[in-house]
């Protein structure tokens, strides 16, 4: 149990385009999901908290208009990188909080390359 998926696993796009990444909790419902970004050889950096049915909460320094988050159901959160630029190239990882265990389970990550 406690499986979280992400789609796509990798994506290459042109500068200026938008990219949507999906995060799904496959066998449990998650009121709260989180989005992280990880650069090579670095730790995970929390970008935002995604709350089902309400607006996301962004960490300081993360542009909410650039990283759009939608948590429309208890099993799905999406992250849209708008007008992507090469500096947005990174490894994006989501997690879903399983309330009964008060534990976060992570997705496999999405590699984004912006040309």
Question: Among 14-22, 67-75, 76-84, 86-94, which window interacts with another protein (CB under 8 A)?
Answer: 86-94
Q: Bridge partners of 90?
A: 112
For another protein (CB under 8 A), the number of binding residues is 27
The verdict on 16 binding another protein (CB under 8 A) reads no
Per-position b or e across 43-72, b if 16+ CB within 10 A of its CB = eeeebbbbebeeebebeeebeeeebbbebe
Binding to another protein, residues 44-83 (CB under 8 A): 44-46, 49, 57
Question: Among 12-20, 65-73, 75-83, 91-99, which window interacts with another protein (CB under 8 A)?
Answer: 91-99
Ranges assigned E (strand) in the chain: 4-7, 10-13, 19-25, 32-38, 45-51, 57-58, 67-73, 76-81, 90-98, 103-106, 110-114
Question: Among 42-50, 60-68, 71-79, 81-89, which window interacts with another protein (CB under 8 A)?
Answer: 42-50
Choose, by CB under 8 A, the member of 103, 112, 113, 114 that binds another protein.
103
When the beta carbons of 78 and 95 are compared against another protein, the nearer one is 95
């Amino acid at each position: 149990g406690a499986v979280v998926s992400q789609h796509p696993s990798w994506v290459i796009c042109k500068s200026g385009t938008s990219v949507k990444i999906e995060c799904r909790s496959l066998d449990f419902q998650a009121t709260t999901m989180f989005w992280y970004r990880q650069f090579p050889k670095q730790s995970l950096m929390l970008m935002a908290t995604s709350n089902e049915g309400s607006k996301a909460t962004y960490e300081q320094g993360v542009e909410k208009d650039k990283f759009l988050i939608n948590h429309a159901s208890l099993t799905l959160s999406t992250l849209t990188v708008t007008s992507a630029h090469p500096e947005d190239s990174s490894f994006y990882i989501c997690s879903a909080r399983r309330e009964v265990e008060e534990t976060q389970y992570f997705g496999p990550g999405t590699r984004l390359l912006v040309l």
